């Protein structure tokens, strides 16, 4: 928690966040409707969405890089439905995650999930063919069972900015 915001030379974070998919951030007028329905707010995080949007508009890089709130987004999408200015708060929140990732602040769960997708094509993967057979289910037809398809997923990840993060297995 920051107690004083010292405004010095402003950094243009609006452009940075927009480029990461949070195009609407400059439109926020701080009306508060997203906060009134946001589960992350209800759960009591220090810097829930609109507060973070203000930090973006003010160019406060430090808070944006370190605050865990964006990682708590449950992706419910209700903020998009109630936003009065078409900010698409949800997308800004995810842009903030990507912003932190660029600064090598990656939530361990995300790191694990991406690793798992690289390994098996699935964020959650467990061997359960015996159990599936019990329910009379066929073998899962996914990339987990096809080396060629898995290679495509890996190629997508490797050719993206994720490869620079050093989290993909060599």
Among 1, 44, 166, 170, binds another protein (CB under 8 A): 44
CB of 42 to another protein, least distance (A): 6
Pick from 11, 33, 59, 119 the residue near another protein by CB under 8 A.
33
Residues with Cβ within 8 Å of 9's Cβ and at least 6 positions away in sequence, in order, are: none
Q: Of the candidates 13, 25, 28, 35, which one interacts with another protein according to CB under 8 A? A: 35
SS3 label, residue 120: helix
Binding segment for another protein (CB under 8 A), chosen from 2-10, 59-67, 85-93, is: 85-93
Considering only residues 12-31, where is the footprint of another protein by CB under 8 A?
Answer: 20-21, 29-31
Q: Give the torsion through C-alpha atoms of 21, 71, 159, 143, to 10 deg.
A: -120
The two three-digit tokens of residue 18, written as one number = 């927009």
Based on the shown chain and the rule CB under 8 A, indicate whether residue 5 belongs to the binding site for another protein. Answer: no
Contact 32, 40 (CB under 8 A): no
CB of 62 to another protein, least distance (A): 19
Site string for another protein, 99-128 (x = CB under 8 A): --x----xx-xx--xx-xx---xxxxxx-x
Are 47 and 63 in contact, with CB atoms under 8 Å apart?
yes
Q: How far is CA 32 from CA 37, 49, 82, in A?
A: 9, 9, 10
Kindly tell me which residue out of 51, 61, 105, 119 binds another protein, with binding defined by CB under 8 A.
51
Please give the structure tokens belonging to residue 165: 């993060």
């Amino acid at each position: 928690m920051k107690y004083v915001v010292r405004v010095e030379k402003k950094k243009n974070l609006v452009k940075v966040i927009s480029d990461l998919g949070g195009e609407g951030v400059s439109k926020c007028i701080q009306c508060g409707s997203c906060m009134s329905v946001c589960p992350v707010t209800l759960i009591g995080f220090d810097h829930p969405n609109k507060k973070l949007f203000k930090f973006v508009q003010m160019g406060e890089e430090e808070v944006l890089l370190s605050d865990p709130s964006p990682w708590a987004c449950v992706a419910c999408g209700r903020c998009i439905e109630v936003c009065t200015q078409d900010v698409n708060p949800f997308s800004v929140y995810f842009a903030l995650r990507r912003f932190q990732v660029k600064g090598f602040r990656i939530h361990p769960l995300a790191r694990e999930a991406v690793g798992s997708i690289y390994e098996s094509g699935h964020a959650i993967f467990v061997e359960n063919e015996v159990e599936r057979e019990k329910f009379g289910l066929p073998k899962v037809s996914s990339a987990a069972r096809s080396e060629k398809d898995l290679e495509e997923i890996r190629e997508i990840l490797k050719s993206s900015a994720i490869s620079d993060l050093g989290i993909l297995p060599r």
